[in-house]
Chains A and B, each alone.
Chain A
Amino acid sequence: MALSVLVLMRERNLFAAVVLFGIYSFLMATVLVALDAVDVAMTEAAVGAGISTVLLLGALLLCKSEEAKPAHRPWLPLTVAISTGALLVYGAFGLPDFSDPQAPIHRHVAPRYMQNEVDVPNVVTAVLASFRGYDTLGETTVVFTAGAGIIALLRRRKKVIVEHEGNP
């Protein structure tokens, strides 16, 4: 997975970059299965690797699929990324160990979710639909806003084309 990201950084052909991103998403989905997050893995494979790739390919169809050569070597972004990364790794050593049952994440609300108060065996569904229903409401708002924005952007485009056709 890290390898595919490294190639992704160097790749200048956008089509290859999009395909690599699809591969990366599938690999991420398998990692999520290994981490017991089956619902998330399913969504990532369908949405991340499926819909995202289709959207990116659609955008590529409307744009040029070759990236221009960068004018200068990217030393400044590299420095920024490496220094921020070093800081984050330093901070990560203060976090609880991997798979530590005493970590705060496993002691706060998770035991109560596990008591199966809503009679649905899949706890993720129970939490999503029952305990945290407002999350989905917010999510729907975001998706609606994004859809409205896209429609506004692309409708403008149609009008411009019509104007061009009207006044050649």
Chain B
Amino acid sequence: MLEHFSYIITVFLMMAGLFIVIARGNLIKKMIGLSVFQTSVYLLYIAPGKLLGGTAPILAKQFTTYSNPLPHVLILTAIVVGVATLALGLALAVRIREAYGTIEEDEILTLNHTVEAAEAQHAEARGGS
């Protein structure tokens, strides 16, 4: 159980992020959930690379055991990509807010349905006359 504690924490964070993304209708809240999910992935990569008694992978004469450097490199890239996607998602949210006046998923869907119904009525009225 204790040997797999880091994985359990990772899975908990991952599921918390997933829950926020699915359950919350607010688009900015969804982006926060997505970021939490991303950080859990960082943990998933970094934790197996750690060696107890090892140090950070910077070579020096007095150390012999180092943690694995490869996951660190991969996650460095992932963090920057993550913030790029976050910025793009937020720009989309701002744009949606300007088009619809709201960033709540339910209200956007209701607005869409109202517009569709109005258009259908309009088409019907034109076809009838």
Residue ranges of A at the interface with B (Cβ–Cβ < 8 Å): 1-2, 5-6, 8-9, 14, 17-18, 21, 24-25, 28, 31-32, 35-40, 43-44, 47-48, 51-52, 55-56, 58-60, 62-64, 67-68, 70-71, 74, 76-78, 80-82, 84-85, 88-89, 92-93, 95-101, 103, 105-106, 109-110, 113-114, 116, 121-124, 127-128, 132, 135-136, 138-139, 142-143, 145-147, 149-150, 153-154, 156-157, 160
Residue of B nearest to A80 (CB): B22
User: What is the interface size of chain B, counting residues whose CB is below 8 A from a CB of the partner?
Assistant: 81
A82 CA to B77 CA in the complex, in Å? 30
A62 close to B94 (CB less than 8 A): yes
A110 CA to B60 CA in the complex, in Å? 17
A36 close to B54 (CB less than 8 A): yes
The 9 closest A-B pairs by CB, nearest first: A92-B7, A74-B23, A97-B3, A146-B84, A77-B22, A36-B67, A85-B15, A77-B23, A59-B90
A110 close to B103 (CB less than 8 A): no
For this complex, 23 residue pairs linking A to B, each with C-beta atoms less than 8 Å apart, are A2-B12, A6-B16, A17-B32, A35-B67, A36-B67, A37-B72, A40-B79, A43-B80, A52-B86, A76-B22, A84-B15, A92-B4, A92-B8, A98-B4, A105-B71, A113-B70, A124-B58, A127-B69, A132-B73, A139-B77, A147-B84, A154-B91, A160-B98
Q: Which residues of A contact B25 (CB under 8 A)?
A: 67-68, 70
B42 close to A40 (CB less than 8 A): yes
